[in-house]
């Protein structure tokens, strides 16, 4: 707390130098210098319950993938990649070339790689100029996913990537994960494309291997989260796929969501007939990820609550709806808050204005998550904890807030009751030292 007071008191006296009042890209590299951050980095943070699969690990990891064999590249205004055993016959702005040949032909490989790397991140030096509104931010965000999709969905890469993502979480002292996935169709070098169930099985295989290699890791589950900008017929297909996964892999399946830019997608009310008949799937809906008030977007919060959502993703607009706020508290609906995501994706510039401070003051069931940290080169979770603790929570908020947030992540997870008890025991056993880097329990018995 002394370290926290030092940082905040300096910022109070020198507001122009308080980094957290600026864009995340302008202060992110200074976070590791903070003594508060170093403590938070070593702190057990429980679980992460709101994370999207293809934006977990940062650009350097993705750049390394471009050194693999059989990778073709189409260089143009938008760079495209595809693994193939022959020249792809898909549309290309210029022409498909082997990435290895293009790299060898570059006059300066370091400069070439730096140019390629820029397509694997939305971080820029002048974010206020490049991203003046949410339109430009989401356009860049969409380009990011379009670029990384074919790199990661090459079947041999998928399992390895998710295994490495779990390793990144464990290294950041996160021991349980609920990952949201559109379940992209994986493919082979010969062009074979697999059904979504194969992607789900690849998740399970990576998770089981990781748990075997790291017995202290509790595990991971899947939230099937396809795009929300669809018609009811497509939604019916989504629900059928979700039920197929739940039936064949109940240990893996956690629930169902609809994702994408909320303002630009279909509101939940469009799908009420289908969703009312699918409540057996467990809903973890994105809702209220908007600055608007009195629109179909923020009113997604109403339908998320009425449809019996177990948790709500973002819930950024919830503070504008006091009746819903009370219902969330009464029904114990977890709020998956993603402070850095909301800041980077143009909902809030100064994190001191983030509604998380209202949620904390009202003692709402908050769970901190990081959404898409790889896209903006953040830690799997520690950066969000640090910014929330120092920049959003009360100056007087202390270790009890951090502990509550960690325990909430287990309480509101889709873990079975026995697993939750085991994890809570692990957290509580460390009372004397308050926080320990190594898990105290590895045997659920």
**Four-residue CA torsion sign, 135, 265, 315, 237:** negative
Catalytic residue status for 50: no
Q: Give the number of residues written for the chain.
A: 445
Find the catalytic residue in 50, 52, 119, 314: 314
Residue 183 token pair? 């379940």
Q: Which of 358, 240, 37 is nearest to 29 (CA)?
A: 37
Phi and psi angles of residue 220, each rounded to the nearest 5 degrees, phi first: -155, 155
User: CB–CB of 388/43 below 8 Å?
Assistant: no
For residue 83, list its beta bridge partners: 71
Q: Which of 390, 434, 394, 400 is nearest to 4 (CA)?
A: 390
**Four-residue CA torsion sign, 316, 317, 321, 323:** negative
Give the C-alpha distances (Å, rounded to integers) separating 302 from 32, 264, 265, 318, 427.
39, 18, 16, 10, 34
Report the alpha-carbon distance of residue 9 to residue 188 in Å, rounded: 56
Ramachandran region of residue 332, left (φ > 0), alpha (ψ -120 to 50) or beta?
A: left
Report the alpha-carbon distance of residue 208 to residue 202 in Å, rounded: 10
Report the alpha-carbon distance of residue 436 to residue 440 in Å, rounded: 8
Report the alpha-carbon distance of residue 413 to residue 157 in Å, rounded: 28
Report the alpha-carbon distance of residue 440 to residue 422 in Å, rounded: 10
Q: Would strands 366-368 and 253-256 be described as parallel, antiparallel, or unpaired?
A: unpaired
Report the alpha-carbon distance of residue 357 to residue 378 in Å, rounded: 21
Report the alpha-carbon distance of residue 444 to residue 69 in Å, rounded: 42
Helices 155-171, 134-152: axis angle to 10 degrees equals 120
DSSP state of 76: S
Catalytic residue status for 354: no
Give the DSSP H/E element, type plus range, for residue 48.
strand 47-52
Find the catalytic residue in 289, 299, 336, 377: 289
**Four-residue CA torsion sign, 341, 32, 178, 433:** negative
Q: Which residues are catalytic?
A: 289, 314
């Amino acid at each position: 707390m002394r370290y926290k007071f030092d940082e905040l008191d300096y910022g109070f006296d020198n507001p122009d130098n308080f980094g957290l009042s600026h864009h995340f890209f302008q202060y992110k590299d200074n976070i590791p210098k903070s003594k508060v951050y170093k403590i938070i980095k070593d702190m057990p943070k429980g679980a992460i319950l709101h994370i999207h699969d293809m934006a977990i690990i940062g650009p350097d990891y993705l750049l390394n993938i471009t050194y693999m064999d059989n990778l073709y590249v189409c260089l143009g205004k938008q760079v495209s990649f595809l693994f193939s055993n022959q020249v792809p016959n898909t549309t290309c702005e210029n022409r498909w070339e082997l990435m290895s040949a293009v790299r060898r032909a570059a006059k300066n490989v370091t400069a070439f790689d730096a140019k390629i790397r820029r397509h694997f991140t939305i971080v820029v030096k002048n974010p206020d100029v490049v991203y003046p509104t949410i339109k430009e931010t989401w356009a860049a965000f969409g380009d990011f996913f379009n670029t990384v999709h074919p790199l990661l969905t090459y079947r041999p890469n998928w399992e390895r990537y998710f295994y490495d993502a779990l390793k990144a979480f464990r290294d950041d002292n996160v021991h349980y994960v609920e990952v949201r996935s559109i379940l992209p169709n994986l493919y082979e070098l010969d062009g074979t494309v697999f059904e979504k169930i194969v992607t789900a099985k690849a998740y399970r295989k990576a998770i089981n291997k990781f748990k075997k290699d790291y017995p202290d890791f509790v595990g991971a589950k899947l939230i099937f989260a396809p795009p929300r900008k669809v018609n009811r017929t497509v939604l019916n297909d989504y629900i059928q796929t979700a039920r197929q996964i739940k039936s064949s892999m109940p240990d893996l399946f956690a629930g169902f969501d609809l994702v994408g830019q909320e303002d630009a997608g279909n509101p939940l009310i469009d799908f009420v007939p289908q969703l009312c008949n699918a409540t057996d799937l467990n809903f973890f809906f994105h809702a209220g990820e908007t600055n608007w008030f009195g629109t179909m977007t923020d009113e997604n919060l109403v339908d998320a609550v009425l449809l019996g959502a177990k948790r709500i993703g973002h819930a950024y607009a919830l503070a504008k709806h006091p009746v819903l706020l009370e219902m969330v508290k009464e029904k114990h609906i977890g709020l998956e808050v993603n402070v850095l995501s909301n800041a980077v994706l143009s909902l809030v510039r100064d994190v001191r204005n983030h509604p998380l401070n209202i949620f904390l003051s009202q003692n709402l069931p908050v769970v901190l998550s990081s959404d898409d940290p790889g896209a903006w080169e953040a830690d799997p979770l520690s950066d969000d904890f640090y910014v929330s603790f120092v920049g959003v929570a009360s100056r007087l908020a202390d270790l009890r807030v951090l502990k509550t947030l960690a325990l909430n992540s287990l309480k509101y997870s889709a873990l079975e009751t026995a697993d939750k008890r085991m994890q809570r025991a692990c957290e509580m056993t460390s009372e004397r030292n308050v926080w320990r880097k190594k898990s105290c329990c590895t045997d659920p018995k």
